[in-house]
Amino acid sequence: MLTAFARAFKTPDLRKKLLFTLGIIVVYRVGTNVPIPGVDYRNVQTCIDNAEANSGLFGLVNMFSGGALLQITIFALGIMPYITASIILQLLTVVIPRLEALKKEGQAGTAKITQYTRYLTVALAILQGTGLVATARSGALFQGCPVASQIVPDQSIFVTVTMVITMTAGTALVMWLGELITDRGIGNGMSILMFISIAATFPSALWAIKEQGSLAGGWIEFGTVMLVGFVMVGLVVFVEQAQRRIPVQYAKRMVGRRSYGGTSTYIPLKVNQAGVIPVIFAASLLYIPALIVQFSSSTAGWATWIEANLANPGATAHIVLYFLLIVFFAFFYVAISFNPEEVADNMKKYGGFIPGIRAGRPTAEYLSYVLNRITWPGSLYLGLIALVPTMALAGFGANQNFPFGGTSILIIVGVGLETVRQIESQLQQRNYEGFLR
C-alpha cells in the first residue's frame, strides 16, 4: 500500500492532481473555521463546550459540514444545499418530461441539469441560511446553553442580511471548490469534500467517548468502540461490494462482410442500490416534527409526545419509525433510479438478451423481480447500520451522530472505495501495480 502511494506521487500527472486536491481540502478546512460577521465567537464556543447543548437536532447537518454549522462559520451550510438540490433534481427528472428529455440528450443535457442544480443550490442556501440565522438569534440552536440567546448580539436587519449573504457565498464557494476537484483533481469533488467533513469530526468524537468513559480512564470504552467501528467498516465494505451479476448475451450480426456482436457481458445490480440516500431522507423527515415543536415552543400534549418519542433517538417509536422509513425510501429510490423497462428496451434495441428470458417485457419483469429480491436485504442492512449508534453504543456516551454511525460510515467507505479505484485505474494505465492486489 505504501509503495503504491509512493508510485502515485512519482507519476507527474497523478502527483499534480493529488497535490491540487490536497490544496483544495486545506482551503475548505480553513473556511470551516472562519466565523461570519455578527456572531459572538466566545459565546458560540461556550455553547459548543456544553455537552447538552451540542447534542441537539442539528447534529447530522453539523457532521456533514465538518463541525462548521454549530460554529456558524462562512462554510456553515457546507455541501448540504448542493446534496439536497441534486436529490431534488434527480427526483424531478422522473416526474418532469422536460428534465427527462434533457437527461437523454447526453453531455449537453447533463450540463443543463448541472446548471439547474447550481441555481437551486443557491436558492436553498439562502433559505437554509435564513433559517440558521433565525434559529441562532432565538437561542434554539443550542438548547440548554445559558448564553444561547446572546450568540447574535446585534439583531438588526442589516446584520441578518449580511450573515445570510455570507453563508450563501460560502456555499457557492464550496460548490466551486468541489467542481475544481472533479475537473482537475482526483475523484468526485463533492464526495471528497463530504468525506473530509465527516472525517474531521472523528478525532473529537472519539476523544469525547474516552473522556466520558469510566473503565480504566475511558480507554476500555475507547478500545471497544474502535473495535466495533472496524467491524462495521468491514461489514459495510463487504455489502457495498456485493452485487448480483445478470448475464447478458448479444447476438451476432453480419453487416457487409463484418461480424458484430456475439459478446457476453452482465448487468451489475448492487445489493445496496440506493446508497446512503434512504438514511438521509429518513433522518431529515424525522427532524421535521421536532423542529416544529422547537420553533413553536408549545407545551401541548402533542408537542410533549413528539419530544418524548420522535425527538428522542433512544425512544422505541423513534427507532421503529426510523427503521421503517429507511426501508421505504430504499425501495422508493431504487424504483425511481433504475427503470427495468428502459434497460430491457435498450438491450432489445442492440440485440441483447438474458439467457433463458425472452427479450422485451419478460426481461423487464425478470429484472424487476431480481431487483426487488436484492433490495430487501439491502434495505434491512441500511436500517440496521443506521441504528447501531442508538442501540449498541449508547452505553459508551455515543449518540445518533457517533462517527462510526450508519450515515458517516456509508459515506466514508463509499467515497474511499471510489477514489481508490480512480487512482488505481490511472496507475494501471502507466503499468504500475495499483492499491488493490
Distance of CA 150 to the CA centre of its chain: 32
Ordered by start, the domain boundaries in the chain are: 1-200, 219-404
Q: Tens digit of pLDDT for each residue in 230-284?
A: 888 888 888 888 888 888 888 776 666 666 656 778 888 888 888 888 887 887 7
pLDDT tens, position by position, 199-232: 887 887 777 777 776 666 678 877 877 887 788 8
The secondary structure element, H or E, covering residue 236 is helix 219-241
Residue 254: strand pairing partners: 259
CA Rg value for the chain: 24
The domain made up of 219-404 is a member of CATH 2.60.40.10: no
Cα distance between residue 319 and residue 309, in whole Å:
9
> Which pLDDT tens digits describe the chain residue by residue (437 residues)?
556 667 777 778 888 888 999 999 999 988 888 888 888 888 888 877 764 444 445 666 677 777 777 788 888 888 888 888 888 888 888 788 888 888 878 788 888 888 999 999 999 999 888 888 888 887 777 776 777 778 888 888 888 899 999 999 999 999 999 999 988 888 888 888 888 888 887 887 777 777 776 666 678 877 877 887 788 888 888 888 888 888 888 877 666 666 665 677 888 888 888 888 888 788 778 777 777 776 666 677 777 787 777 767 667 788 888 889 889 988 988 888 888 888 888 888 877 888 888 888 888 899 999 999 999 998 998 888 887 766 655 555 555 445 566 677 888 888 888 888 888 777 777 655 555 55
What is the structure's pLDDT at 390?
65
How far is Cα 91 from Cα 89, in angstroms, rounded to an integer? 5
**Cβ pair 319, 387 in contact under 8 A:** yes
**What are the two backbone dihedrals, phi and then psi, of residue 248, each rounded to the nearest 5 degrees?**
-130, 130
Q: Which of 284, 297, 290, 7 is nearest to 139 (CA)?
A: 297
Do the domains at 1-200 and 219-404 have one common CATH topology? yes
User: Do residues 386 and 406 make contact, with C-beta atoms less than 8 angstroms apart?
Assistant: yes
The continuous run of DSSP H or E covering 250 comes out as strand 243-250
Residues across the chain: 437
Taking the CB of residue 295, how many other CB atoms lie within 10 A of it?
13
Q: Using CA atoms, how far apart are residues 67 and 45, in angstroms rounded to an integer?
A: 12
Tell me how far apart the alpha carbons of residues 322 and 280 are, in angstroms, rounded to a whole number. 11
- The answer to whether the beta carbons of residues 40 and 151 sit under 8 Å apart is yes
Q: Extract the C-alpha cell encoding 431.
A: 503499468
- Predicted model pTM: 0.79
Residue 379, SS3 per DSSP: helix
Q: CATH top-level class for 1-200?
A: mainly alpha
CA 235 to chain centre: 18
String of DSSP letters for 116-129:
HHHHHHHHHHHHHH
